[in-house]
Chains A and B, each alone.
Chain A
Amino acid sequence: MMKLLSQRLLGPVTLILLALTFWLGLWVTPPDKVQGNLARLLYVHPAIAWVALYLSFGTATIASALYLWKRSRSPVMDRVAHCAMEVSLVFIILTLITGSIWGRPAWGVWWAWDARLTSTAVLGVFAVGYLALRRANDDFELRARRSAVLAILAAINVPIIHFSVQWWKTLHQGASVFTESGNFKVHGIMLTTLFISLAAFTLLFFWLLRARYRVQVLRDERERVSLDEALTQRRREGVH
């Protein structure tokens, strides 16, 4: 029952929360005292970055580790890792684009070779490399194992991105939502909108992952059927 409800409700709830984020972010929330209207990007960019770096890349890494661990090795884990990595790449690209759009008026440049920006871009390159590696090999076992190792190696970059604003003097601002003592820097409707956007993009990740996974199941099934057909054909040719 719960499963059915979550399957049925995931899409509509995600859409409602995304629409709320859009409406609250652009029309309802007040302009910031320091950043003015530019602060409205705060309801989009951090939530997308959260999905890109932690949620989807994390899912891809955990699924890859579970694939490499013999007791939980299954095509399901490999498929989850593959699909999560693709979703992650899309979110990484959007993180960089929305960040760059914020950076132009705030810093005066579209791009800076700053530690946070560069390490995020490197993660994007790893994601592209991962997807390229999957296309480079037809052997299922080999492809799954190699890409799982690459995903785990690439994940080392995630804590580097996270702590980059503390380890190096970066142009990118540090923590924007919490103070060092753990209190909120943002309040009222701005904080509510921030949480709604986080929830909206988190649910969107699960929705996209589920849809992408279903497509991958269909593709794998098609690949298997065409391979079986080709083998049957070859056997028939061998008989004649």
Chain B
Amino acid sequence: MGYVVAGYAFAFGGLALYALSIWWRGRRAQR
């Protein structure tokens, strides 16, 4: 089950980080 949890953590965590990076770049561009 450890591999499964790691897989989900990377998939969902990675996408959340990417979404956060888009939001952050958007904020910077608005300044």
Interface residues of A (CB under 8 A from B): 18, 22, 25-26, 37-38, 40-41, 44-45, 48, 87, 90, 93-94, 97-98, 101-102, 104-105, 204, 208, 211-212, 214-215, 218-219, 222
Contacts and interface: CB of A to CB of B under 8 A. Distances in A.
Contact of A208 (B7, B8, B22, B25): B22
Nearest to A83: B22
What DSSP secondary structure best describes chain A's contact surface?
A: helix
Nearest to A95: B11
B4 to A, nearest CB: 5
Contact of B29 (A37, A38, A48, A218): A218
Interface string B1-31: 1011111101110110011001101100110
Q: Which 10 A-B pairs have the closest CB atoms?
A: A218-B29, A215-B26, A101-B7, A41-B7, A44-B11, A40-B4, A98-B7, A90-B18, A211-B22, A97-B10
28 contacts: A26-B4, A26-B5, A26-B8, A37-B1, A37-B4, A40-B4, A41-B3, A41-B7, A44-B7, A44-B8, A44-B11, A45-B11, A48-B11, A90-B15, A94-B15, A97-B14, A98-B10, A101-B3, A101-B10, A102-B3, A204-B15, A208-B19, A208-B22, A211-B26, A212-B22, A215-B22, A215-B25, A222-B29
Interface of B: 1, 3-8, 10-12, 14-15, 18-19, 22-23, 25-26, 29-30
Contacts of B12: 18, 22
Contacts of B19: 208, 211
A228 B10 CA distance: 43
Given A37-B4, A208-B18, A208-B19, 8 more contacts: A25-B8, A93-B14, A94-B10, A94-B15, A97-B10, A98-B7, A211-B26, A215-B29
A8 B26 CA distance: 19
Contacts of A22: 8, 12
